[in-house]
């Protein structure tokens, strides 16, 4: 009877990150709400010139600091702040166990027919190297290098946002000083001086707000995304390495379940990937 193959699993999906969206709404809503509670109005902090100074000055400083490739990565990474690439760790474990079971019963060469059905590019590359007879140490070195390079690329985007969060408050102060210079030119009209000083400090508000409500949180969010991606790739690499070592699928499951994030996640003993032989049979 022909050996059934593990079915292709959808390990990754994209969904809106409502925490990021709701966080911005709550933050700006609380600030504007507090302003109105103090009998202020939204028009008090709406100033186009201040926004131009802060955003333009911050962008210029970041362009001087960061390589062009990092700037592009940061622009591309904005979507990752508001949309989450969800990785199903449990599905990844089940798929790896399916391949481990088949490899143990029919040899690792039998997985060659399954390579075209693997949806995750990292897992596909690792298994391809394994099927091609790559030494386990060389395989780990090659795939770990890929993980490191991908991590560095992702962190470069996060560092751009961190840099922007550091520059924008200072640029806001520059905007406030520029506004005060304009106020000092018209000291003869004392009624306008107080109003002008208030308007001048709007740039400082913009600089501090955009740094602490978007740039720095965005940098931390991207770092969190990168950490999750690295863990997923390490899970798959450990799984493929264990297959190549000939480890029992039951032991591979125990090993890989250490990567599960959720507290209270239980071992799926007795569970099997759809269409795959039972892992228990592999130990016979």
Give the start-to-end residue ranges of the domains of the chain.
16-46, 48-263
Tokens of 201: 């400090």
pLDDT band at 5 (very low <50, low <70, confident <90, very high): low
For the stretch 104-159, pLDDT in tens is: 898 888 888 888 888 889 999 999 999 998 899 999 999 999 999 989 988 998 99
User: What per-residue confidence (pLDDT) applies to 1?
Assistant: 40
Q: What is the pTM of this model?
A: 0.77
Tokens of 69: 């490739």
Please compute the mean of the pLDDT values over residues 185-193 and round it to a whole number.
70
Which helix (H) or strand (E) is 55 found in, with range? helix 48-65
- Give the Cα separation of 101 and 58 in Å (integer): 55
- Give the Cα separation of 284 and 151 in Å (integer): 40
Residue 39 Ramachandran class (φ > 0 left, ψ -120 to 50 alpha, else beta): left
């Amino acid at each position: 009877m022909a050996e059934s193959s593990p079915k292709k699993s959808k390990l990754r999906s994209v969904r809106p990150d409502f925490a990021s969206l709701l966080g911005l709404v709550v933050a700006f809503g609380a600030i504007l709400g507090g302003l109105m509670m103090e009998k202020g109005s939204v028009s008090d902090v709406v100033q186009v010139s201040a926004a131009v100074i802060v955003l333009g000055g911050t962008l210029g400083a970041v362009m001087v600091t960061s390589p062009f490739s990092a700037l592009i990565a940061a622009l591309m990474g904005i979507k990752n702040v508001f949309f989450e690439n969800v990785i199903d760790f449990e599905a990844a474990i089940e798929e790896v166990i399916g391949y481990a079971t088949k490899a143990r019963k029919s040899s690792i060469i039998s997985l060659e027919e399954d390579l075209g059905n693997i949806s995750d590019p990292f897992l596909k590359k690792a298994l391809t190297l394994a099927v091609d007879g790559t030494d386990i140490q060389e395989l780990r070195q090659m795939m770990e290098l890929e993980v490191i390079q991908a991590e560095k690329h992702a962190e470069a985007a996060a560092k751009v946002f961190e840099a922007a969060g550091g520059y924008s408050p200072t640029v806001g102060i520059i905007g406030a000083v520029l506004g005060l210079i304009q106020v000092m030119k018209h000291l003869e009209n004392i009624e306008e001086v107080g109003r002008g000083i208030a308007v001048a400090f709007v740039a400082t508000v913009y600089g501090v707000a955009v740094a602490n409500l978007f740039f720095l949180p965005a940098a931390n969010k991207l770092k969190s995304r990168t950490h999750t991606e690295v863990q997923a790739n390490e899970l798959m690499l450990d799984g493929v390495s264990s297959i190549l070592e000939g480890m029992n699928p039951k032991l591979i499951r125990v090993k890989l379940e250490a990567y599960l994030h959720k507290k209270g996640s239980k071992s799926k003993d007795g569970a099997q990937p759809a269409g795959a032989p039972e892992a228990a049979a592999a130990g016979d």
